[in-house]
Chains A and B, each alone.
Chain A
Amino acid sequence: MEEDPHLEEKQIEEAKKNPQSFEPLYKKYYERILRFVYKRMENLDDTREITSSVFIKALSNISKYTYRGHPFSSWLYRIALNEITQFYRDANKMRVISIDTYGISRVADETGKDRDLNPVLAKAMQHLSEEEVLLLELRFFEDKAFAEVGAILDITENNAKVKTYRVIDKLREIFKKLND
C-alpha cells in the first residue's frame, strides 16, 4: 500500500491541535535525530538529553511550523543544531566531530587527495569555522543533498552549494600548507 504523500503534513496539522498526535512524528524521527546529535557529542547521556530537548522544543513550537516544501526533518535538524550550539557554549568544551572512512574518501575525492587522508583532515579541520565544519559534515559525512543542507541551514540550495565548494577550496589550500 502506497503511503499518502501528504501524510506528514496531515500529522503536523493534527499535532498542532492535539499534542498526542505528535507521537507518530516523534517515533519516525527519534532515531535520526539521536544519531545526528550523537555524531556531535562526546557521550550518549548528553546525546539523549539534547535529543529530548529537540522534541520538547519541536512540540512546544509546532504551532509556529509552516510547511515550506522542505521535509519536517530539516526543521528538527535545525533545532538540534541550535541545541548543540547552546550546549557547547554553556559547557565550554570542544565540539565533537565524527568522521568515518566513507566520508573521508569523499572529501579526498573532492579535494583530489589520496584516500589516506585521516591524520591530515583532522588537522585541517581545526582551521575551519563552525559553519564550514557543518557544511562538510552535512554534505560528506551525512550524505545530504544540497537542497537539504540549505533547508537545515536556512539558506538556498545554490548558496549551500557555493559555500560547500568554498570549503573544499579552502581545504585544498590548507592541505598544501600542511605539506609544506
Chain B
Amino acid sequence: MKKIKTRAMKKYSIKENRPELTKDEIEQGMDFNKIKSKANSGAKVVSLKRYVLMGMAATVIVTLTIFWPQISTGDQTHLKNEIAQLPTNTNTPDTFVVKSETDTTLIYSSGSKITIPANAFVYENGDPVKGNVKINYREFHKVSEILLSSIPMRYDSAGKEMYFESAGMFDISAQQDEKQVFIKKDKSLNVEMATLDKAEKKYNQYLLNEKTGQWSFIKRDEMEVLPAPAAPAPAKTDSIKLTRPVKPLNERMFTVDATGRPDLEIYNNVVFEVAKDCKNFNVEESKTEWGMVNIAKLEKAYTYKVTFSYPMSGPQRTYEVTANPVKDGNMEKALAKYDALYDVYKKRLNEAEKADLAAHQALLKEKTTYENVFQNYVELQRKNEALTIKNANQVAEATQVVYRTFQIKQFGIWNSDCPQSMPQGVEVFANFETADGKKVNVAGVYLVEKGKNALYNLYVPEKFSFNPDAENVLLVITRDHKLGWVKNNVFEGIDKTTKNFTFKLNMLSKDNYTSADIDGILI
C-alpha cells in the first residue's frame, strides 16, 4: 500500500455549500444563435485565459451579446418544479370563455370576482383580439396547496433571503386558439380575491417572474372585509301529533370527541344517528375507532355529512355517512317523561272510557299536560338545532371573508404576501429515518409553523434552524415519492445543546397524496 503523506500540496480549491445559481443567472448567456454561428463558421473557441497567458496586460474580453431568450410562455409548465417528486395532481385551473368585445365579470368558486373591461386583450404584436378568449384561473390559499403548486416562495429583499407568509395567491392566463394573449397597455383587469384570513394590513402584492422565479413588489395590499353570509332559518315543524318517537339502534349512533378541535365544540354532547337512507352505512366501519372526523352541515334540515379518517387499525381509508343529531341529555329526560305520561294516559283513558264523564274530563286535562311535555321535547330539539346553527354562524363570523383587490396589467402568478425571515432559535444537524430505523433519502424538506401561512423550503435539510416557541411541523418528500412528517412534540425534545438529531418520520402509505392529506397532517 502506497504510503500517504499527511500533508499534501494543495491541488484543489474546495468550495463548500455554494449557493445555487438563480434562474436569472442561468438564462443570461443563453444564446443559441451565437452557438450556431460559431459552430458554422468553424471558429476556434478561444479561452480568454489563453490571452492572459500570452502575456497581454489587459484581458481581452469576448463579449457575448446578451438578450433575453425567446422562450414561449404560453403556459406555466416551463416553471421548473422545485421538487420533481411531487405528485402532479395540483389544483387545475377553472376555464372561463369571455367575449373580448364586452365587459365581463367572472365569479370563481371561492367567491373571488374578476372584472374584465371590453377590448382588453391584444396579441403579442399589439393587435387587438376579437371574439372568444379563454381565461384560466386558479387560487392557492393553504400551505398544502402552496407546497403542491411548486411555486417558489422565496423572496430576495435587498439581498436577504426571506420567505412569504401568504394571504392568498392566484394564477391567471388567457389564450385564444392556444395562442397566449396579453392585456392592452391602457387596460387592467380587476381581481378581487376572496381570502379567509384575518384582515391584517401587513401584506403587499407581488408578481412572479416565471422566467427567473423571482418575485417583484407591486404595491401595498388593498382589502375589503365583508360580513359573513346570513344563517339559514330553522325548519318549521308540522302540527304536533301524539306519536311516540322511534328509539334509535346503538350501532348507528355515535358521539364526537371535540378535544383539540374548536371547530367541533358545537357538536360536543350531541348524539348523532346515521340517517336511515344513508347507503354508505357499514356495520364494521361503525365499530372502528377513528383518529379524525369532519362534520359538514347539509342543506336538508337536521342532516350532516360526517367523514371519518385515520383509523386506529387497518389500512388508511375514509368512511363517510349522513347523520342526524338525535338527542342530548335534556331531550332524553323529556322523552322519558313523555313515555311515562303517555303510558299513564293510555291506561287511564281506557279506564275512563269505562268510567264516568267527570273522570274522562280529568284525563283530558292530563292529556293536555303530556301534550305540553311533548311540545317541550320538540322545542328542545328545535332549540338544539338552532343552537347548532347559531354556533356555526359564530364560527363563520370569526373567519370573515376578506377581499384583496388587484388591478393587474399582465397575466401571471400574483400573490398577497408578507415577507418573513427564516426561523431562528435552535440549530440542528438533522438525519431522517422511518419509525423502524431505515434511512430516508429526502428530495425536499419543508418547515411549517402552525398559525402562519408560510412554507419554508429547507434547501440544506441536514442543517437548519427553527423557532422553539412556534408550533413546528416538518413535511418531508422522499426520493421515492412518499410523504413523511414530524410534529411539534418531536421538536420539543430538541434544545440548543442538541447537535445531531434523528427525525423519525411518520409516513403516509399512499403515493398520490393530495392537499387534503397534507391538511390532515397540519391540523
- Chain B residues near A105 (CB-CB < 8 A): 462
A99 to B448, CA, bound (A): 28
- A-B pairs with beta carbons under 8 Å apart, 20 shown: A19-B40, A22-B36, A34-B21, A35-B21, A44-B21, A55-B35, A60-B39, A91-B53, A94-B11, A94-B12, A94-B13, A100-B18, A100-B460, A101-B17, A101-B460, A115-B429, A115-B431, A116-B429, A125-B14, A174-B4
- Chain B residues near A133 (CB-CB < 8 A): 12
Whether B9 is near chain A, meaning CB under 8 Å from some CB there, is: yes
Task: Determine chain A's interface SS by DSSP, over half rule.
Answer: helix
Whether A97 is near chain B, meaning CB under 8 Å from some CB there, is: yes
Are A52 and B39 in contact, CB atoms less than 8 angstroms apart?
A: no
Besides A27-B30, A55-B39, A94-B10, 6 other CB < 8 A contacts? A22-B35, A53-B45, A105-B462, A115-B462, A123-B8, A125-B14
Q: How far is the CB of A46 from chain B (nearest CB, A)?
A: 8
A92 to B5, CA, bound (A): 24
Interface residues of chain B, those whose CB is within 8 Å of chain A, are: 1, 4-6, 8-18, 21, 25-26, 28-32, 34-36, 38-40, 42-43, 45, 47-50, 52-53, 62, 64, 71, 429, 431, 460, 462-463, 500
- Chain A residues near B28 (CB-CB < 8 A): 48
Interface residues of A in 112-135 (CB under 8 A from B): 115-116, 118, 122-123, 125-127, 133
Interface residues of A in 18-64 (CB under 8 A from B): 19-20, 22-23, 26-27, 30-31, 34-35, 38-39, 42, 44, 46, 48-53, 55-57, 59-60
Query: Which chain B residue has the least Cβ–Cβ distance from A114?
Result: B500
A102 to B29, CA, bound (A): 29
Are B32 and A27 in contact, CB atoms less than 8 angstroms apart?
A: yes
Residue of B30, B31, B52 with most chain A CB atoms under a 10 A cut-off = B30
Contact of A97 with B15 at beta-carbon distance under 8 Å, contacts A26-B32, A56-B39 already known: yes
Q: C-beta contact mask, A140-164 vs B, less than 8 Å → 1, else 0? A: 0000000000000000000000000
Q: How many residues of A contact B (CB 8 A)?
A: 55
Query: Which chain B residue has the least Cβ–Cβ distance from A121?
Result: B14
Q: Which 9 A-B pairs have the closest CB atoms?
A: A59-B39, A48-B29, A91-B49, A126-B8, A94-B13, A101-B462, A53-B45, A122-B14, A60-B39
- Chain A residues near B49 (CB-CB < 8 A): 46, 87, 90-91
- Chain B residues near A90 (CB-CB < 8 A): 47, 49-50, 53
Q: How far is the CB of B294 from chain A (nearest CB, A)?
A: 37
Are A173 and B460 in contact, CB atoms less than 8 angstroms apart?
A: no
- Chain B residues near A59 (CB-CB < 8 A): 35-36, 39
Q: How far is the CB of A42 from chain B (nearest CB, A)?
A: 7
